[in-house]
Amino acid sequence: MNLRKYLKVYKKFLHTSLASELEYKTNILVDLITAILSLVGSIFLLSIFFQNNGYIGGWKFEQALIIQAIYTILNGITNTWFNPNLTEIVKHIREGTLDFVLLKPIDSQFFISLKKINPSGFLEIMLGFLLLLFCIRINQINLNLSFLTLSSITISCSICILYSLWFFISTTTIWFVKTWNAIEVLRSFLYIGRFPLNSFSFSLRIFFSVFIPIAFITTIPSEVFLGLSVIWKILLEVIVATVFVITSRRFWLFALKFYSSASS
Amino acid sequence: MVKNIIDVRNLSKSFDISSKEPGLKGTIKHFFRRQTKSLKVIKDISFKIKEGEIVGFLGANGAGKTTILKMLCGLIYPSEGSILVSGYLPFRRKDNFLKNITLIMGQKQQLIWDLPPIESFYLNASIYDLDKFEAKKRIKKLSEMLEIDEELFIPVRKLSLGQRMKSELLAALIHEPNILFLDEPTLGLDINAQRNLRKFLQRYNKETNATICLTSHYMKDITSLCKRVICVHEGSISYDGKLDLLLKKLSPVKEILIVCRSEEDANKLENSGFTVKNKIKNEITIKIENNSITSSLKTILNNFDIEDLFINEPPIDEVIGKVLIKKNYDI
């Protein structure tokens, strides 16, 4: 893979999608306001849950805020990259415009995963990081090298798992054509990621760890922040993320063999 | 000797198609138990195309023309048979193969809707690894050939269909491919835009010796661009050869409208042994075989008092229409 070429193309992707989005100023403004209100609403909802009892699943409100911060960052990444690109796969396949992607001398997964960008998602990412910094302060977390390394690894793994899950579902469009519902179900499950995994029953914990790995997406990185995570959990998250990335990649290449393009 | 750039042997393609009975009952049945059947849309076809050739694929809707083009450019895996395009197996979609080809579809677009076409051109240039200087040079050259200038800087959504198609062509040709697959490129364009597009394709073919495979329902596209046509009927090739031979075979006679000086002359002409189609006062329409046009006209002009005459070609759409419904043409 020619890295220089891919960087050059990504620079163009950034430029064209920012220019496209900036054509509609009001839309960006509405998105920005929505991002702020959504975060305020989520924190308010979380505070209500903690009002009666100071703890949920062994977590204090200040600790649960870390999960909210990580969720906000991931949601920001989802809205910046995954949502505008991966939902477009369905459109590409339904309308047959995937033809243009497949006939370009560039990796098709790279193209369809990164072509677009939604700048309003950046604000959500920034708000998430601000909240995270606030949580670091109120939870008196010691910022040292091992903490930064482990938190970066676990957040990166979370992004990979989330991307792979979404990409996997979008890929099934090649056979099922419409998969909007499945993506909506995935997004609904992600909302659950705002709460500590321990706050759910045993069977739900198993479900959210094995079938829909929400636990790996928000809870494990949050545990790293609080110094609660054990090394085997982090290793497991790295393994799960690697398996997800490889599987979704192979699944995409396999699915393309069944792509029949839309009729003209 | 000109080499074959496309070599197709015993190519077949089947698709699984689901069918549904009408009505609510049919819909519910279709939802729970979908009935699919394998449909062979391309049946054992073989052909070769030489470098620099412009070949038109003719066929009714659903005959399989687009499926053939999509297999040639590597979008669809063939079920049986082999395809070699420029020495590559298309469905492997190797970078060097993709740099050699392009696909233009009249009904689909790749330009970024909200931005001026120039942005899409530079994006494509970066995908094909062209530096800025080279990209600029190619955009300038192609925009001159396509006669577009200011349109390059107007958002695509504000361009007319004709301007958009020209921009689509530029975006698809920026990497200077030597094989062009065009699927109904003039669809929906007005007469002038169609003519300009044809003029451009002729010039591009002449200047670059690019091979062009074209499907179109506008016969003018086929007659003005293609010397050779491949007629596809229900997934099989019904004719593969020169277009003029096919036209001669299918329309062996021409109609000639003769305006005589008097009705008397017209009556004389009517009884002189020519095949008369109709006669209204001093105007008479006769049918003459293509190979005896010159001698017959000479006889008419020498023996009758003629005021005017018109030679009418049979409408090409009508002639080609005959091909599209017939299974086989041996010429």
Q: What is the DSSP string of A134-190?
A: HHHHHTT----HHHHHHHHHHHHHHHHHHHHHHHHHHHTHHHHS--HHHHHHHHHHH
Examine the predicted complex and report whether its ipTM is higher than 0.85. no
Given a cut of 80, is residue A208 above it in pLDDT? no
Given a cut of 60, is residue B331 above it in pLDDT? no
* Residue of chain A whose Cα is closest to the Cα of B114: A20
Contact A8, A109 (CB under 8 A): no
Distances (CA, A) of B62 to B41, B43, B68, B189, B324: 8, 13, 11, 22, 11
A119 lies within 8 A of chain B by CB: no
Instruction: Report the pLDDT value the prediction gives residue B155, as an integer from 0 to 100.
Output: 92
What is the average pLDDT value for chain B, to the nearest integer?
87
- Percent of chain B at pLDDT > 70 equals 95
Of the residues B126, B173, B186, the best mutation for testing chain A's interface (the one with the most A CB atoms within 10 Å of its CB) is B126
List pLDDT tens digits, range A48-72: 877 777 777 777 888 888 888 888 8
Given a cut of 80, is residue A264 above it in pLDDT? no
- Percent of chain A at pLDDT > 90 equals 23
Contact flag B66-A264 (C-beta cutoff 8 Å): yes
Q: Higher pLDDT residue, A143 or B176? A: B176
Cα end-to-end span (Å), chain A: 33
Instruction: Report the pLDDT value the prediction gives residue A8, as an integer from 0 to 100.
Output: 93
Candidate from A203-217, A232-246, B204-218 with smallest mean pLDDT: A203-217
Given a cut of 60, is residue A188 above it in pLDDT? yes
Q: Higher pLDDT residue, A194 or A9? A: A9
Share in percent of chain A as helix, strand, coil (round to 5): 80, 0, 20
Amino acid at B80: E
Q: Higher pLDDT residue, A39 or A16? A: A16
Highest mean pLDDT among B117-121, B184-188, B218-222: B117-121
Of the residues B97, B105, B107, the best mutation for testing chain A's interface (the one with the most A CB atoms within 10 Å of its CB) is B105
Instruction: Report the pLDDT value the prediction gives residue A231, as an integer from 0 to 100.
Output: 84
Contact flag A102-B112 (C-beta cutoff 8 Å): no
Instruction: Report the pLDDT value the prediction gives residue A217, as an integer from 0 to 100.
Output: 80
Q: Name the packing angle between helices A180-192 and A83-95 (round to 10°).
A: 160
Contact flag A9-B102 (C-beta cutoff 8 Å): no
Q: Chain A: nearest CA to B331, how far in angstroms?
A: 31
Highest mean pLDDT among A16-25, A198-207, A227-236, B46-55: B46-55
List pLDDT tens digits, range B203-248: 999 999 999 999 988 888 888 899 999 999 889 998 899 988 887 7
Arithmetic mean of pLDDT, A111-132: 89
